[in-house]
């Protein structure tokens, strides 16, 4: 089991290291998106810096890398192991988020892992992904803060795991790590929210 866990964690990390925002900025705009805005390589900073199309592409790319990594474990590497496969899928996705947040070739300066976590939710259980998407939309359009929406759904994730996968305590424990990673990466946002200086996405005036 230990070898399987290591394989899944390494596989996930490799997938996570594919920084969609970084490569998009370099290939299509000739910039390192981390040198602009919040200095982050994820969806929100790309959207603010390069516009909506770029932001959507980056979100999709960062989500899909988690989906593909989980599918490889589920259908190719370790299929048919029941609850063990579920654990290995979760470990793989955790590796994706760690790779996304801390890519070795970018001096461990990546994104915040929200799109990758969302991709894992989709790959794991569409019901969880749908609930998270609805909650994020409600929170975002109410507050206009992406960070508040992101923090809310990552806090909700372990609760949803308890509801949909009762008794799978290892998976629940791993889901808490997703939450901890997201909140740690958002610590500057949390501080700005407390100080009232967090950036909002304002509605466009007609």
Q: Count CB-CB contacts under 10 A for residue 76.
A: 8
In this prediction, the residues of the chain whose per-residue pLDDT falls under 70 are 203-206
pTM of the model: 0.92
Residue 84, classed as helix, strand or coil, is: helix
Query: Residue 53 corresponds to which tokens in the numbers above?
Result: 């199309």
pLDDT computed for residue 40 by the predictor: 85
> Domain ranges in the chain?
2-195
Residue 204 confidence (pLDDT): 58
Tokens 């740690």, residue located? 184
Contact (Cβ atoms closer than 8 angstroms) between residue 116 and residue 63? yes
Q: Residue 80 has what pLDDT?
A: 87
Distance of CA 70 to the CA centre of its chain: 13
Judge whether 182 and 154 are in contact, CB under 8 Å. Answer: yes
Per-residue pLDDT tens digits for 141-150: 999 999 999 9
Q: Quote the pLDDT of residue 203.
A: 66
Contacts of 62 (CB under 8 A, 6+ apart): 20, 21, 42, 43, 100, 111, 115, 116, 119
């Amino acid at each position: 089991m230990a070898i399987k866990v290591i394989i899944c964690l390494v596989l996930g990390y490799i997938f996570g290291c594919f920084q969609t925002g970084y490569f998009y900025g370099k290939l299509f705009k000739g910039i390192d998106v981390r040198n602009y805005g919040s200095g982050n390589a994820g969806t929100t900073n790309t959207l603010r810096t390069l516009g909506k199309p770029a932001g959507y592409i980056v979100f999709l790319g960062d989500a899909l890398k988690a989906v593909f990594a989980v599918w490889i474990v589920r259908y190719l590497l370790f299929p048919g192991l029941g609850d063990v496969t579920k654990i290995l899928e979760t470990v793989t996705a955790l590796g994706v988020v760690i790779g996304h947040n801390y890519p070795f070739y970018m001096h461990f300066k990546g994104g915040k892992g929200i799109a990758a976590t969302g991709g894992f939710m989709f790959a794991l259980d569409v019901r969880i992904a749908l609930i998270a998407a609805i909650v994020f939309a409600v929170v975002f359009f109410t507050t206009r803060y992406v960070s508040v929406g992101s923090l809310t759904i990552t806090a909700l994730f372990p609760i949803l795991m308890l509801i949909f996968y009762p008794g799978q305590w290892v998976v629940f424990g791993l889901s808490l790590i997703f939450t901890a990673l997201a909140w740690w990466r958002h610590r500057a946002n949390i501080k700005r929210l407390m100080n009232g200086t967090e950036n909002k996405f304002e509605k466009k005036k007609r």
